[in-house]
């Protein structure tokens, strides 16, 4: 079965700093989804990447997909306390799968 | 607000008991997914329904069952509860049968936190 490994597991940064979170798949990626979760709350969709080399941005968050390396990176520029939370990457375990398998998450703390 | 409603938000019960978690998907969404999130297992896919029919099954225990009703709301039944069943149970909905099309995103509810004592 597919496994998604996220690194780092946790990250503490000073407000204003840039940071990167990585998600590596044990198998071929058929799309990669990034979600954000506030502790104990639901997941909020950030963006989806489908093709190798694809890059998407939403406000100060940019995600890239490297299909050959079976990995994706999420980069936050000039972090703010509002960026704090758990970032989860998810992917369909196969090309025909209807559901998402998720990584274990990266806990981000932004110090003011 | 994702538009997905889950009840109850919190539930405390004892081992051996049975509980039912309810999910109302976003208006018009035909797919409902159930996920379990625990500290040791992370976010695990349990089961998916589309327009009343089971479409995909994950690591759902035999003690657990789910169904989707004609009005599209869904219920997750957990029986013979064990301490290890304590977790946050999420429902997510989507207008699609699968993940293809548009963004293919899943809209998650706030979750039902189950504590088994």
Number of domain units in chain A: 1
CATH number at residue A1: 2.60.40.10
The domain of A102 spans 1-48+80-112
Tell me whether residue A40 is in a domain.
yes
Residue A73 lies in a domain: no
Q: Is residue A90 part of a domain?
A: yes
Is residue A65 one of the residues assigned to a domain?
A: no
Query: A15 in a domain, yes or no?
Result: yes
Q: What is the pLDDT of residue B103?
A: 66
Euclidean distance between CA atoms B18 and B63, whole angstroms:
9
Report whether pLDDT(B72) > 90. Answer: yes
Is residue A70 assigned to a domain?
no
What is the reported pLDDT for B102?
56
Residues 6+ apart with CB under 8 A from B41: B87
pLDDT for residue B21 is more than 80: yes
User: Which positions of chain A have pLDDT values less than 50?
Assistant: none
Residue of B47, B58, B105 for testing the chain A interface, max A β-carbons within 10 Å? B105
CB contact under 8 A, A105 and B43: yes
First-last CA distance in chain A? 40
Asked, for residue A18, whether it belongs to a domain, the answer is yes
Among the partner residues A47, A88, A101, nearest to B45 by beta-carbon distance: A101
Instruction: For residue B100, name the pLDDT band (cuts at 50, 70, 90).
Output: low
């Amino acid at each position: 079965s597919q496994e998604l490994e996220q690194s780092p597991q946790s990250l503490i940064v000073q407000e204003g700093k840039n940071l990167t979170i990585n998600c590596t798949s044990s198998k071929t990626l058929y799309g990669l989804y990034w979600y954000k979760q506030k502790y104990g709350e639901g997941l909020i969709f950030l963006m989806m990447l489908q093709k190798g080399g694809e890059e998407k941005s939403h406000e100060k968050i940019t995600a890239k997909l490297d299909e050959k390396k079976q990995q994706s990176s999420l980069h936050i520029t000039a972090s703010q306390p509002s960026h704090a939370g758990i970032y989860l990457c998810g992917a369909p375990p196969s090309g025909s799968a209807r559901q998402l398998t998720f990584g274990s998450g990266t806990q981000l703390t932004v110090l003011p | 607000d994702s538009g997905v409603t889950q009840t109850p938000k919190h539930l405390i019960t004892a081992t051996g008991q049975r509980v039912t978690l309810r999910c109302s998907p976003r208006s018009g969404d035909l797919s409902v997914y159930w996920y379990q999130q625990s500290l040791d297992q992370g976010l695990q896919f349990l089961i998916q329904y589309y327009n009343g029919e089971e479409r995909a099954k994950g690591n759902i225990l035999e003690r657990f069952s789910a169904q989707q009703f004609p009005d599209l709301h869904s219920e997750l039944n957990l029986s013979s509860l064990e301490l290890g069943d304590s977790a946050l149970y999420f429902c997510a909905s989507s207008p699609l049968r699968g993940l293809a099309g548009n963004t293919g995103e899943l809209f998650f509810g706030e979750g039902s936190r189950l504590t088994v004592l």
